[in-house]
């Protein structure tokens, strides 16, 4: 096929412009990214070769080779991995098939240029393009394993690239960077010591040898290995391995430095920020495996994307088997990044086999237990750190209440909620420790914001009794509550559903007598309200939960809450309209005025207007939309004019 010129997609060009025209404080990460890509290519070939030995083409000596040419100011990173076809080059290099690319560009545009590369490069699978931070021209040659055709790709980052067929003797990929002229403060990536230090810093743990030809002057030696006196030094080139290759996860904790842990996390997650917590397991005995897991300090932009996959990788005897291994970690812990390496699994293990493998099930059980135990320790010993974790991943952890019955009790102790007590978040255990002796239930209220819930009329009677109420504002809370029905044998009770009993026997008897009297007094008004609003509400009752507000809406015990209805509709689901009960405060001045007006003239048209205003008021206070905002506004304006005597 002849040489052709293609244009980058628009977002790629924006990305390149930002990289080429901005200053970066971590230019050396291009080498880490290229080595990581080479390692991935070798992992893929090694895995595929388990079932198709022909892909190896007689060469199973996997390695990554770095070559430099100081005169041409070039550096190449080569591998003998899986390689790419022409179509794959176009797909992987000419485009970014990532849903978050727009968000990446937006984030990059807002960041200070000195912070850009370290924090964002690689996070969206754009590591290859970091080459343009240091290169004025990039050339890629590649041949896919099992294919006889090779491809050459070249670009100067000007918005286009060329692609053509070429000759390449062996499978794999070579990326050659023609470096920009050195400026003050720049590292020279054609220098051996610069490459050595960069690889030691970023890629020492890569499981394949990273090799480089090194030239040394040596004095000739005699047959006994002793330097020959007076002989002139001669130049000798030898291939040296620049990395230790011992995977971090297979080392003992005492053998790993903090920086090694952090660097492996950066390689694994492409997240430049330090992890919040590190979990290293060297399990021995009946079940032997090594695991290294990380709790990130911030949530990725794809955390709530339905296609978000597990962050766990599976190795068998240090051989990569699969990425995104969902069998190792439940979906509600999908933010965990890590590696598990077991010598007891077969190398030809498949995802289907994993799903029914008792060893994998046992490893998963142990990993989950360890993660939850680590979070519990964090909550008890470093509340500030746990709060940072909860702000990032709390809504995801709550999903486990619904799915993971086995660990539900442990998960309950990790939950944090806002409450009416103060501005701090509280655990269920802490809430229960503050409950008055006569309180039998854990009260909660769901809604869209803490401020709105804190001022809800549903809380008035509870506040007057000194009862604390949990304020649940995460969209997942309504769904989670289907699994969270009790804690420490105490039932959870919504203050916006059914009856809320706050009285002792004596108070209850007195309240029932008063309610009976009020019902007799206001019977005619309640009937009027019910008839007037019959298309919109289920019933009208006098309220025992209101002290300051005139009205509120209450769902029956097993009906959907208003908050749940709003969430389902926002998600595009059809929700049958659930009529709720309008509760009226017999002690409120507005209700008394309406009652007097009704006694004076039951046909007064203002009564209908006031009834609709009461319903709209109840809807607004719970955060629900009203049917006719314009009409509501006119009625309020009319009342305001009348109030000032105009």
What pLDDT, in 10s, does the model give residues 150-206? 999 999 988 889 999 999 999 999 999 999 998 887 899 999 999 999 888 778 778
Q: Please state, in angstroms and rounded to a whole number, the distance separating the CA atoms of residues 87 and 85.
A: 5
Long-range contacts of 615-619 (CB under 8 A, 24+ apart): 615/533, 615/536, 615/537, 615/551, 615/582, 617/550, 617/551, 618/457, 618/551, 618/552, 618/553, 618/582, 619/553
Flag whether pLDDT at 20 surpasses 70. no
> What residues contact 212, with CB distance under 8 A and at least 6 apart?
65, 66, 67, 68, 192, 195, 239, 240, 242
pLDDT tens-place string over residues 320-357: 778 888 899 999 999 999 999 988 887 666 667 787 78
> What is residue 126's predicted lDDT score, i.e. its pLDDT?
56
What is the mean pLDDT of the segment spanning 583-607? Answer: 89
Q: What is the pLDDT of residues 269-319, one digit of tens each?
A: 878 889 999 999 999 887 789 999 999 999 887 777 766 778 898 887 776
Tell me what pLDDT residue 321 has. Answer: 76
pLDDT on residue 112: 46
What per-residue confidence (pLDDT) applies to 505?
Answer: 67
- Look at residue 141 and tell me whether its pLDDT is greater than 80: yes
What pLDDT is recorded for position 122?
39
Q: Domains in the chain, start-ordered, CATH in brackets?
A: 4-221+230-241 (3.30.565.10), 248-407 (3.30.230.80), 409-494 (3.40.50.11260), 506-556+577-643 (1.20.120.790)
Q: Give the pLDDT confidence of 489-540 residue by residue, as tens digits.
A: 999 999 888 777 776 667 777 777 887 888 889 889 999 999 999 999 999 9
Beta bridge partners of 154: 139, 162
Residue 612 pLDDT greater than 80, yes or no:
yes
User: Distances from the Cα of 133 to the Cαs of 27, 29, 173, 273, 318, in angstroms?
Assistant: 6, 10, 20, 20, 33
Q: Tens of pLDDT along 555-592?
A: 887 777 777 777 777 667 777 777 888 989 988 998 89
- Give the pLDDT confidence score for residue 119 in this predicted structure: 40
Look at 116-130, 209-223, 515-529 and tell me which has the smallest mean pLDDT. 116-130
In this model, does residue 210 exceed pLDDT 70? yes
Q: What is the pLDDT of residue 514?
A: 82
- CB neighbourhood size of 11 (10 A): 16
- Provide, rounded to the nearest whole percent, the portion of the chain with pLDDT above 70: 90
CA 224 to centroid of chain Cα atoms: 63
pLDDT of 284 reads 86
């Amino acid at each position: 096929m002849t040489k052709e010129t293609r244009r980058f997609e628009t977002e790629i060009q924006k990305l390149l412009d930002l990289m080429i025209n901005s200053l970066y404080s971590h230019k050396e990460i291009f080498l880490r990214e290229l080595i990581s890509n080479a390692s991935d290519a070798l992992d893929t070939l090694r895995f595929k070769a388990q079932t198709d030995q022909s892909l190896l083409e007689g060469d199973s000596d996997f390695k990554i080779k770095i070559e430099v040419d100081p005169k041409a100011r070039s550096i190449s990173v080569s591998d003998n991995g899986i390689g790419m076809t022409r179509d794959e080059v176009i797909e992987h290099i000419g485009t970014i098939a990532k849903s978050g690319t727009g968000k990446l560009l937006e984030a990059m545009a807002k960041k200070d240029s000195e912070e850009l590369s370290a924090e964002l490069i690689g996070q969206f699978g754009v590591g290859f393009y970091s080459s343009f931070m240091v290169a004025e021209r990039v050339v890629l040659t590649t041949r896919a394993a099992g294919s006889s055709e090779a491809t050459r790709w070249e670009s100067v980052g000007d918005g286009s690239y060329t692609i053509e067929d070429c000759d390449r003797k062996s499978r794999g990929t070579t990326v050659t960077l023609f470096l920009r002229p050195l400026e003050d403060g720049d590292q020279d990536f054609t220098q051996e010591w610069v490459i050595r230090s960069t690889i030691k810093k970023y890629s020492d743990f890569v499981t394949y040898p990273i090799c480089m030809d090194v030239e040394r002057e040596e004095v000739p030696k005699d047959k006994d290995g002793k330097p020959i006196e007076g002989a002139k030094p001669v130049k000798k080139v030898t291939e040296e391995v620049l990395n230790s290759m011992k995977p971090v996860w297979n080392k003992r904790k005492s053998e790993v430095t903090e920086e090694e842990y952090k660097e492996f996390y950066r390689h694994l997650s492409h997240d430049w920020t330090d992890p919040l917590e590190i979990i290293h397991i060297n399990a021995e005995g009946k079940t032997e495996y090594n695991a290294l897991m990380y709790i990130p300090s911030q949530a990725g932009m794809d955390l709530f994307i339905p296609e978000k996959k597990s962050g766990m990788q599976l190795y068998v005897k240090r051989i990569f088997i699969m990425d995104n291994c969902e069998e190792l970690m439940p979906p509600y812990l999908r933010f965990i990044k890590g590696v598990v390496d077991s010598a007891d699994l077969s190398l030809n293990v498949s995802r289907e086999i994993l799903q029914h493998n008792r060893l994998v099930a046992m490893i998963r059980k142990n990993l989950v237990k360890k993660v939850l135990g680590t979070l519990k320790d964090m909550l008890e010993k470093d509340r500030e750190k746990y709060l940072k974790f909860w702000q990032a991943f709390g809504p995801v952890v709550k999903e486990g209440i619904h799915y993971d019955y086995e660990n539900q009790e442990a998960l309950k102790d990790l939950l944090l909620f806002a409450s009416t007590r103060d501005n701090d978040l509280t655990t269920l255990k802490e809430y229960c420790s503050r409950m008055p002796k006569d309180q039998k239930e854990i009260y909660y209220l769901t809604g869209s914001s803490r401020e709105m819930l804190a001022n809800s009329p549903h809380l008035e009677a509870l506040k007057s009794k000194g009862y604390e109420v949990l304020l649940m504002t995460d969209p997942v809370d309504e769904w989670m509550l289907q699994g969270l029905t009790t804690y420490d044998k105490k039932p959870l009770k919504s203050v916006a559903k059914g009856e809320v009993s706050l009285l002792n026997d004596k108070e209850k008897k007195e309240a029932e007598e008063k309610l009976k009297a009020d019902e007799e007094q206001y019977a005619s008004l309640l009937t009027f309200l019910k008839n007037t609003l019959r298309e919109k509400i289920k019933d009208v009752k006098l309220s025992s939960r209101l002290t300051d507000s005139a009205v509120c809406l209450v769902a029956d015990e097993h009906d959907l809450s208003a908050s749940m209805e709003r969430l389902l509709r926002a998600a595009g689901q059809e929700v049958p309209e659930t009529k709720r009960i309008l509760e009226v405060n017999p002690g409120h001045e507005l209700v008394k005025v309406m009652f007097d007006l009704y006694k004076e003239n039951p046909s007064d048209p203002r009564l209908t207007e006031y009834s609709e205003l009461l319903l709209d008021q109840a809807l607004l206070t719970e955060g629900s939309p009203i049917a006719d905002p314009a009409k509501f506004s006119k009625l309020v304006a009319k009342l305001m004019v009348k109030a000032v005597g105009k």
